[in-house]
């Protein structure tokens, strides 16, 4: 796992991160609808593993933590920063909000994503090739977008098997 600033990410993507996300949101197709994130922490862990299984197949994946501090009673920044320090990262989230994962970083990916879900943060999960995008909201919903029909069907099937509830479709 590497932890990047937004400027590092712009360089990695070849364009501004915000523009990249904006373009990808418009270009990629929605899987199913808007899903409610289950409130149960155990199911959040399972959901993180499911996303790791689906996303970390071929490409490098980024987890961009875009919002925190909204639900103060739900978050534990000490735990999050403690985890980041364990991988040698001492910069605060405001400076380095993007986490880049290779295929071998599945455990780290699940850990970071779990904390995004547990602490009810805003986040974006995307592959650097722009083929898949997950938007996680502090309002406890998420959306998944992908580019090809096969991936969309696969995502939809996996989420259905998982029992992911819809907020809107």
Partner 1 sequence: MLPASSTPLYYAADMLGSSRMIFNSATGTPCYDADFGPFGEERTYLSTCPQNYKFEGKERDTETGNDDFGARNYSWRFGRWLSSDWSSVPVPVPYANLLNPQTLNLYSMVSDDPESFADLDGHEDTTPAWERSDGQVNPCTGSGGPNDCSAQKPQPPNPQGKLQLSDSQKPPQPPPSDKDGKPTPPPVPVPGCPTCGWKWNPDPQNPRGGTWGPDGWKGANPPSGSWDPDGHWDIDKGGKGPRDHYDPQGNPLTPGQAHPGNAPAQQTMLDRMRSITPGPIARWGTAGVIIYILIDEGSRLYPPRNLVPVP
Binding site for partner 1 (CB under 8 A): 18-19, 21-23, 25-27, 29-30, 33-34, 66-74, 92-94, 120, 137-141, 143, 167-169
CB of 22 to partner 1, least distance (A): 6
Does the CA dihedral 139-167-50-24 come out positive or negative? negative
Q: What distance lies between CA 106 and its chain's CA centroid?
A: 13
Nearest to 4 by CA among 61, 53, 45: 61
CB of 152 to partner 1, least distance (A): 9
DSSP state for residue 70 in the 8-state scheme: S
Let me know the angle formed at the C-alpha of 130 by 124 and 152, rounded to the nearest 5 degrees: 85
Alpha-carbon span 136 to 67, nearest angstrom: 10
CB of 153 to partner 1, least distance (A): 12
CB of 117 to partner 1, least distance (A): 14
Place of tokens 């943060």: 121
Closer residue to partner 1 (CB): 73 or 161: 73
Closer residue to partner 1 (CB): 105 or 143: 143
């Amino acid at each position: 796992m590497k932890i990047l600033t937004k400027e590092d990410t712009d360089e990695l993507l070849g364009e501004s991160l915000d523009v990249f996300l904006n373009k990808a949101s418009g270009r990629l197709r929605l899987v199913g609808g808007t899903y409610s994130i289950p409130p149960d922490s155990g199911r959040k862990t399972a959901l993180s593993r499911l996303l790791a299984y689906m996303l970390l197949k071929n490409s490098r994946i980024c987890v961009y933590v875009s919002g925190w501090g909204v639900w103060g009673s739900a978050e534990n920044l000490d735990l999050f920063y403690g985890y980041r320090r364990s991988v040698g990262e001492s910069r605060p989230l405001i400076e380095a909000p993007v986490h880049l994962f290779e295929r071998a970083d599945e455990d780290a990916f699940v850990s970071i994503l779990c904390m995004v879900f547990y602490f009810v943060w805003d986040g974006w999960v995307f592959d650097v090739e722009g083929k898949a995008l997950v938007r996680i909201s502090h309002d406890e919903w998420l959306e998944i977008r992908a580019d090809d029909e096969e991936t969309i069907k696969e995502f939809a099937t996996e989420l259905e098997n998982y029992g992911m509830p819809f907020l809107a479709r």
